[in-house]
Amino acid sequence: MVHGGGPTPVLNASLCATVLQARRYPAITAFYGARHGVAGILNKDLVSLSAQSDATLEAVSSTPGSAIGTSRYKMSDLDLDRILETFRGAGIRYFFCAGGNGSMDTALRIDSAARHAGYDLRVIGIPKTIDNDLAETDHSPGYPSAARFFAHAIRDIGADNRALPAPITVVEVIGRNAGWVAAATSLARHRPDDAPHLIYFPEQVLTRAKLLADVEAIYRRLGRAVVVVCEGQRDETGSFFGGAELNTDADARDKLPGNLAHVVARTIWSGLAVRARGEKPGLLGRSFALTVSTVDREEAARCGAAAVEAAVQGHSGMMCAIRRMQESPYRSEILLTPLDKVARIERLFPSEWIHESGHDVQPAFLEYATPLVGRIDPHAALEEIPV
Amino acid sequence: MVHGGGPTPVLNASLCATVLQARRYPAITAFYGARHGVAGILNKDLVSLSAQSDATLEAVSSTPGSAIGTSRYKMSDLDLDRILETFRGAGIRYFFCAGGNGSMDTALRIDSAARHAGYDLRVIGIPKTIDNDLAETDHSPGYPSAARFFAHAIRDIGADNRALPAPITVVEVIGRNAGWVAAATSLARHRPDDAPHLIYFPEQVLTRAKLLADVEAIYRRLGRAVVVVCEGQRDETGSFFGGAELNTDADARDKLPGNLAHVVARTIWSGLAVRARGEKPGLLGRSFALTVSTVDREEAARCGAAAVEAAVQGHSGMMCAIRRMQESPYRSEILLTPLDKVARIERLFPSEWIHESGHDVQPAFLEYATPLVGRIDPHAALEEIPV
């Protein structure tokens, strides 16, 4: 098993379910995890997963992060040969890779190389991305929980904003190119004046003029506003909004701004002379354990188990995908989709689910997201009783 | 009832308990909340609290924010006269004020003005501050819950950092001058290499050289680090660390940096050439409903009820304070302390609870905080089994 890309609150649920399912097949005599991605295979830095007790696996399955470690390492063709050599040497016949569209490309390359070399390897991808930008699946494990965190965050920051108007609070959510997580903050609304008041999508450019006009309109009506913006939001110059400064935690091509919410807040202040502050919950969105979605945890585990079944049945070059079978009560099934239909393909937030205002979702999105994210309870309010 | 300063997740617990307790006294015929602080009294913008049903009050008591609204308005002497006039006109005999040391000063001034004017008014303060910087009380309602949020946040960001080392993650926590909340993130640790690895206190200057030396030492040992820093951290120049840019959400004298975590992360990157990113959960620390401490909610309610009892018994010019009676099981009592012993007095984090390294707490702090914040469950880990 290899993990690629950022962890999620349910990645370990997939991991542990995979190991527990493999345990049912005596022919699978050992199960290893590569520490920190494919580098763990290259360096023979492995974790024995089959030797873990059921109790340990069950306990680890509800923790955030990645119990074997993950990475953003880009695999070279030379690495590919060495990986196959290692597999051959150790008699490894199944390869499971949990990740997003980049990791599915890694899996696809390993699958192709094995076929080309005539080595019987079964490669199955397990979907994982809080960004929800994987193709061919209704949604990706990790997304519902990240969405649930940010919906709770906006609900509660909304209560704070109502109590002591900042008056403008800008909240930066995870999302480089896709607005799925930003969209989910709409689930925090119960009353007409509830936060979020403005949701922007990285699929659309946000001009300074639009931001200021939108904020001014809400501020005039409510005297306050909560604004949701993605870390990867770009403005009319094509650069990150307002020339936000880059983080230093990634390779050049993966860099994202480190202070976008702050830059948006200062833009509002300088443009409207209205007080504003920016918040950046950041990595909490992909790690907070208390806001895991029940559906998400369960589906993440089912994807792991389905990956083992697929490999045992002789499939390879496939990714487990989720198909929505029924809305109410929500029910899904796990099916297989070829890796080449998901590798390196980014599924953006559908434009038909963006409200024509450009700063909200359409009701169809709420229908899509609600069963995944679960209910976000409204906060009770005092009755309006004239004095 | 008036609320002053930033809301907390348990301010409404105090509010509702006060109203429910007042209901026991038929002589108290009406109970009003001033909307958004003393301005609500001045503008006769009031909420009828006594007319709310028990069920509404009980539901509201578990919401974050302030159901009547709060403010940072600075009361003038002229306001003081008008407030007394209003009280006289409406027959208001009890005045409850929930807030921090600034709000206790407001309460003290109203108490003194009433005495001076010969008007029989009973003024009781209800402690509230996530900063925990009120004097004369073991701790302040709001602090245990904010501490619990940030301890969970650091535990889970620690799991993320372990899974995919940033490698340095800087987390900015609430706290202008006092390191109480930062200190509480130490409760997230269970294993020796758990986050947080460095905790800085605004009571001490943080030089660039110390930051870099500390981070380098952790990074050499673990290959990663989670650093906790307060929003009000200053460096050797006396300014906010690294010249961090100010928020625009407050009056000039209350301004705090808006991007301190980001500045610290960039300082690490430029000084050590190690990748770093900054997070700023910000207002979530004082609003997140899922991390309310049970002890906190219960004590917040008891402070509200005790305020009514004190007023009925004829006390005035006093604040309810919490005295720790027993450690295990934890038990506290509510007593009264004169407002002039708490008004405008800031209780900093005790220097004897700062580790001599300047970047950690002493064990005595853990003994103090654990019963308040409650247990932060450790994350399970895989067993170390040689492959």
Residues from chain A contacting residue B52 (CB–CB below 8 Å)? 382-383, 385
Task: Report whether pLDDT(A127) > 60.
Answer: yes
Question: Average pLDDT in the B68-80 region?
Answer: 94
Q: Name the token pair of B119.
A: 């008007």
* Inter-chain touch B382–A276, beta carbons under 8 Å: no
Size of interface A-B (CB pairs under 8 A): 254
* Inter-chain touch A282–B287, beta carbons under 8 Å: no
* Inter-chain touch B248–A56, beta carbons under 8 Å: no
Q: How confident is the model at residue A247 (pLDDT cuts 50, 70, 90)?
A: confident
A163 in contact with chain B, both atoms CB, cutoff 8 A: yes
Question: Average pLDDT in the B11-36 region?
Answer: 97
Question: Average pLDDT in the A244-272 region?
Answer: 83
**pTM (global) more than 0.80:** yes
Task: Report whether pLDDT(B84) > 60.
Answer: yes
Task: Report whether pLDDT(A96) > 80.
Answer: yes
Answer for the pair B89, B311: CB distance below 8 angstroms, yes or no.
no
A283 in contact with chain B, both atoms CB, cutoff 8 A: yes
Question: Average pLDDT in the A272-282 region?
Answer: 95
Q: How confident is the model at residue B346 (pLDDT cuts 50, 70, 90)?
A: very high
Q: What is the DSSP letter of B250?
A: S
In whole angstroms, give the CA distance from residue A331 to residue A344.
28
Helix axes B101-117, B77-90, angle to 10 degrees: 60
Which residue out of A15, A43, A387 would a mutagenesis test of the B interface target, given it has the greatest number of B Cβ atoms within 10 Å? A387
Q: Which residues pair with B127 in a beta bridge?
A: B99
pLDDT of residue A357: 98
Answer for the pair A21, A308: CB distance below 8 angstroms, yes or no.
yes
pLDDT of residue A249: 65
Using DSSP, state whether B318 is helix, strand or coil: strand
In whole angstroms, give the CA distance from residue A22 to residue A40.
21
pLDDT of residue B251: 63
Residues from chain A contacting residue B386 (CB–CB below 8 Å)? 48
Instruction: Give residue B200's identity as a one-letter amino acid code.
Output: Y
Q: What is the pLDDT of residues B314-328, one digit of tens each?
A: 999 999 999 999 999
In whole angstroms, give the CA distance from residue B41 to residue A384.
18
Residues from chain B contacting residue A240 (CB–CB below 8 Å)? none
Q: Which of A106, A73, A78, A64 is nearest to A285 (CA)?
A: A64
Instruction: Give residue A173's identity as a one-letter amino acid code.
Output: V
Residues from chain B contacting residue A60 (CB–CB below 8 Å)? 380-382
pLDDT of residue B243: 86
Q: Which of A152, A248, A262 sits opposite B275 (nearest CB)?
A: A248
One of B79, B105, B131, B133 is an active-site residue; which one? B131
Helix axes A363-373, A294-312, angle to 10 degrees: 80
**A 213-252 → B contacts, CB under 8 A:** 245, 247-250
Task: Report whether pLDDT(B348) > 70.
Answer: yes
Answer for the pair B177, B203: CB distance below 8 angstroms, yes or no.
yes
In whole angstroms, give the CA distance from residue B358 to residue A99.
40
* Inter-chain touch A67–B166, beta carbons under 8 Å: no
Q: Which of B166, B259, B265 sits opposite A262 (nearest CB)?
A: B259
B197 in contact with chain A, both atoms CB, cutoff 8 A: no
Residues from chain A contacting residue B378 (CB–CB below 8 Å)? none
pLDDT of residue B257: 84
DSSP A77-119: HHHHHHHHHHHHHHT--EEEEEESHHHHHHHHHHHHHHHHHT-
> Is the Cα torsion angle B304, B305, B311, B315 positive or negative in sign?
negative
Q: How confident is the model at residue A254 (pLDDT cuts 50, 70, 90)?
A: low
Question: Average pLDDT in the A14-25 region?
Answer: 98
pLDDT of residue A252: 57
**B 255-274 → A contacts, CB under 8 A:** 258-259, 261-262, 265-266, 269
Residues from chain B contacting residue A62 (CB–CB below 8 Å)? 380
Mean pLDDT of chain B: 96
A276 in contact with chain B, both atoms CB, cutoff 8 A: yes
Tokens 């509200």 -> residue? B304
Comparing alpha-carbon positions, the chain B residue that sits nearest to A248 is B275
Which residue out of B16, B71, B283, B375 would a mutagenesis test of the A interface target, given it has the greatest number of A Cβ atoms within 10 Å? B283
* Inter-chain touch B164–A69, beta carbons under 8 Å: yes
pLDDT of residue A253: 58
> Angle CA(B127)–CA(B129)–CA(B132) in degrees, nearest 5?
100
Answer for the pair A157, A216: CB distance below 8 angstroms, yes or no.
no
> Angle CA(B99)–CA(B100)–CA(B103) in degrees, nearest 5?
65
* Inter-chain touch B163–A284, beta carbons under 8 Å: no
B72 in contact with chain A, both atoms CB, cutoff 8 A: yes
A16 in contact with chain B, both atoms CB, cutoff 8 A: no
Say which residues have a Cβ less than 8 Å from residue A17's Cβ, sequence separation at least 6. Answer: A61, A300, A301, A302, A303, A304, A305
Residues from chain A contacting residue B265 (CB–CB below 8 Å)? 247-249, 258
Q: Which of B209, B254, B200 is nearest to B236 (CA)?
A: B209
* Inter-chain touch B279–A275, beta carbons under 8 Å: no
Q: How confident is the model at residue A221 (pLDDT cuts 50, 70, 90)?
A: very high
Task: Report whether pLDDT(B300) > 90.
Answer: yes
Torsion of CA B335, B338, B342, B344, to 10 degrees: 150
Using DSSP, state whether A339 is helix, strand or coil: helix
Q: What is the pLDDT of residues A156-172, one digit of tens each?
A: 999 999 999 779 999 99
Residues from chain A contacting residue B60 (CB–CB below 8 Å)? 380-382
Q: Which of A65, A379, A387 sits opposite B162 (nearest CB)?
A: A65
Q: Which of A49, A278, A382 sits opposite B60 (nearest CB)?
A: A382
* Inter-chain touch B282–A279, beta carbons under 8 Å: yes
Q: Which of B116, B77, B79 is nearest to B2 (CA)?
A: B79
DSSP B155-203: HHHHHHHHHS--SEEEEEES-SS--HHHHHGGGG--STTPSPSEE--TT
Q: What is the pLDDT of residues A202-219, one digit of tens each?
A: 999 999 999 999 999 999
Q: Is A29 exposed, middle or buried (0-12, 13-18, 19+ CB in 10 A)?
A: exposed
Tokens 């005297």 -> residue? A223
Of chain A, the percentage scoring pLDDT greater than 70 comes to 98
* Inter-chain touch A381–B67, beta carbons under 8 Å: yes
Residues from chain B contacting residue A245 (CB–CB below 8 Å)? 262, 266
Q: How many CA atoms lie within 13 A of A13 on its CB side?
A: 23
In whole angstroms, give the CA distance from residue B156 to residue B244.
26
B64 in contact with chain A, both atoms CB, cutoff 8 A: yes
List Cα–Cα distances, B75 to A155, A201, A245, B83, in angstroms: 31, 42, 40, 10
Using DSSP, state whether A330 is helix, strand or coil: strand
B70 in contact with chain A, both atoms CB, cutoff 8 A: yes
Ordered alpha helix ranges (H), A118-237: 143-163, 180-184, 208-222
Q: What is the pLDDT of residues B249-283, one digit of tens each?
A: 666 556 788 889 999 999 999 999 999 999 999 99
Comparing alpha-carbon positions, the chain B residue that sits nearest to A224 is B249
For the annotated catalytic residues of A, the residue numbers are 131
Q: Which of B247, B276, B282 sits opposite A248 (nearest CB)?
A: B276
Q: How confident is the model at residue A386 (pLDDT cuts 50, 70, 90)?
A: confident
